[in-house]
Amino acid sequence: MARWGCSPCLRRRRLLLQVLQALTALAALVALGAAGGAAPRCHHTHAYGMLAADCHDVQLRDVPQALRSDVKALDLTMNRIREVPAGAFARYASLELLYLDDNAVAVIEDGALDPLSRLRVLSLALNSIVEVPRSLLRLPSLQRLVLSRNPLAPESLAAALAAAPEDGPLQVLALAGCRLRALPPLQRLPRLRELNVSGNPLDKVSAAQLAPLCSLRVAALGDAHATLDFCDCVLLREWSERDGLQLHPPQALDCAGRHGETAGAARCANSSAAREAQALRAQCGRTLQAQERDEQRRRLWAWVGAGAGAVAAALALLALCCWCCRRRRARRASPARTPARSRKNCDEDEEDFAPMTKKYTK
């Protein structure tokens, strides 16, 4: 009867234990959410052989700060990030690929991306960016920049492009649908290979504007190709045949029926505008050659410095080995030394043994 009488107590104990376990699990979840913030909604993966963090469409309002610091690719597309303050990416210095598309980003503080010295790809399409940070194009490893579908202020964009280093690595620039009325100044981007300005209401496009881009291989002009006059079209077609420049749409190189066609191709080649454009393109080529020579010189001096350091280290190691060998030989060649006894000690020994000597001599 006693055993049956204790069954309610056991049930109460089990119920209490289950409640305690549930409360413990709930406290752990709350602590994890407080410590990780929005990061638990992201997940780490591997893409293209690098560590990546997928935070796509998880309703983030700020750049997460609880991801692994060695992440190299970060997808923050389709969130609610409105501002990128200074220090937002301070702990992600290893980032190489960053996607911030479709976030309605309106403000990027100047210097907010400075810690990303290894960043190669930056995509900021479909946002509300008006002011382009001047430090954006000074990122030392940036090769691809996408600013399409942003209401960019022409003055801000021009200032950012003017602040770009002439030997910068940028190769792809996308400015599609940015409400631009004129091409921005691109003289400081001689290594640019792809340019997309389609979807902009450009008033005029000329060969002289594209001439400083002597590395350009693909140019998407959109409807702006209709603003090319006959001589500009002839010059661009010449660059297309000689340097492999591709214009999109392809009809941009169809020069028939354009304004100024009556001038004739021969007269176009001798015009002042054509000579100016050819001079700008030649200057771009000389700039690239000078940069390549400087780069080769830097590599050469780096190899020379490394070789000199290796030779100095080898000589120091050889000298140390020689010194050790000489010291070892000297130790082997020297006889074993016994401690010399002082004259005073010898005299004391003679005095001690003198009585014994007399005794045995008698």
pLDDT digits (tens, 9 = 90+) for 320-342: 888 888 888 888 877 655 455 55
* Nearest Cα to Cα of residue 238 among 286, 278, 196: 278
Mean pLDDT across 277-301: 86
pLDDT at residue 301, as a whole number? 84
Listed in order, the ranges of the chain carrying CATH 3.80.10.10 are 36-147
d(C-alpha 53, C-alpha 70), whole Å: 10
DSSP code per residue over 96-142: -EEE--SS---EE-TTTTTT-TT--EEE--SS---SPPTTGGG-TT-
Please state the CATH superfamily assignment of the domain spanning residues 36-147 in this structure.
Answer: Ribonuclease Inhibitor (3.80.10.10)
> What DSSP character marks residue 75?
E
Looking at the predicted structure, is the pLDDT value of residue 213 above 80? yes
- The encoded tokens of residue 301 equal 């001096």
pLDDT at residue 39, as a whole number? 45
Q: Name which CATH class applies to 165-303.
A: alpha beta
Angle at 247 between CA 246 and CA 248, to 5 degrees: 125
> What DSSP character marks residue 53?
E
Helix and strand element counts for the chain (H, E): 8, 12
- CA dist 174 → 32, 100, 131, 200 (Å): 40, 14, 16, 12
- The encoded tokens of residue 310 equal 């290796």
174: part of which helix (H) or strand (E)? strand 172-174
d(C-alpha 235, C-alpha 279), whole Å: 13
> What DSSP character marks residue 228?
-
Angle at 154 between CA 150 and CA 158, to 5 degrees: 115
| pLDDT tens by residue, 170-191 | 999 999 999 999 999 999 999 9
| pLDDT tens by residue, 7-60 | 666 677 777 777 777 777 666 554 544 444 434 489 999 988 899 999 999 999
Mean pLDDT across 284-288: 90
pTM, two decimals, is: 0.73
| Torsion angle of the four alpha carbons 231, 236, 239, 240, in this order, in degrees rounded to the nearest 10 | -130
